[in-house]
Amino acid sequence: MPITSVSKDTDDLTMTVVADFPVPVRRLWDAYADPRQLERFWGPVEWPATFSRHDMTPAGESHYVMTGPEGESSAGYWKFLSVDEGKGFEVEDGFCVEPGVPNPDMPSMRMTFAFEETGKGSRVTTTTWFASLQDLEQLIAGGMEEGMSSAMSQMDDVLADLGSFAAGSGTQTQLLDDTHVRVTRIIRGTVEQVWRAHTEPELMKRWLLGPDGWTMPVCEVATEVGGTYRYEWEQEGGGNRFGFTGELLEVHAPIRTVTTERMIGMEGEGTLNEQTLTPVEGGTLLTVVITYPSRELRDQILATGMTDGMETSYARLEREVLTPA
User: pLDDT digit string (tens) for 214-230?
Assistant: 999 999 999 999 999 99
Domain match, 9 and 155 both: yes
CA separation for the pair 31, 278 (Å, rounded): 12
- Residue 227 in any domain: the answer is yes
Neighbours of 311 (CB within 10 A): 18
Domain that holds residue 68: 3-160
Mean pLDDT highest for which of 7-11, 238-242, 258-262? 258-262
- Residue 309 resides in a domain: yes
The percent of residues in the chain predicted with pLDDT above 90, rounded, is 77
pLDDT in tens, 291-319: 999 999 999 999 999 999 999 999 999 99
Asked if residue 55 belongs to a domain, the reply is yes
Tally the C-alpha atoms within 13 A of residue 23's C-alpha that lie toward its C-beta: 20
Contact 107, 139 (CB under 8 A): yes
Average pLDDT over residues 232-242: 93
In a shared domain, residues 185 and 290: yes
Q: For residue range 128-179, list pLDDT tens digits in order.
A: 999 898 888 888 887 777 878 888 788 888 888 766 777 678 999 999 999 9
In a domain, 166, yes or no: no
pLDDT at position 106: 87
- Co-location of 114 and 18 in the same domain: yes
296: in domain: yes
How many domains in the chain? 2
Cβ pair 83, 57 in contact under 8 A: yes
pLDDT value at 64 more than 90: yes
Tell me, yes or no, whether 287 and 182 share the same domain.
Answer: yes
Q: Is the dihedral of CA 253, 256, 258, 262 positive or negative?
A: positive
Beta bridge partners of 19: 3, 124
pLDDT at 325 over 60: no
For residue 107, what pLDDT is reported?
86
Please tell me the distance from the alpha carbon of residue 93 to that of residue 126, in angstroms, as a whole number.
12
Q: At which of 94, 126, 160 does a domain end?
A: 160
44-48, 170-174, 186-190, 242-246: range with lowest mean pLDDT = 44-48
85-119 residue pLDDT tens: 999 999 999 999 988 899 998 889 999 999 999 99
Looking at the structure, do residues 38 and 121 belong to the same domain, yes or no?
Answer: yes
Q: Are residues 268 and 179 in the same domain?
A: yes
- Secondary structure percentages of the chain, helix, strand, coil, to 5: 25, 40, 35
Q: What is the mean pLDDT of the chain?
A: 92
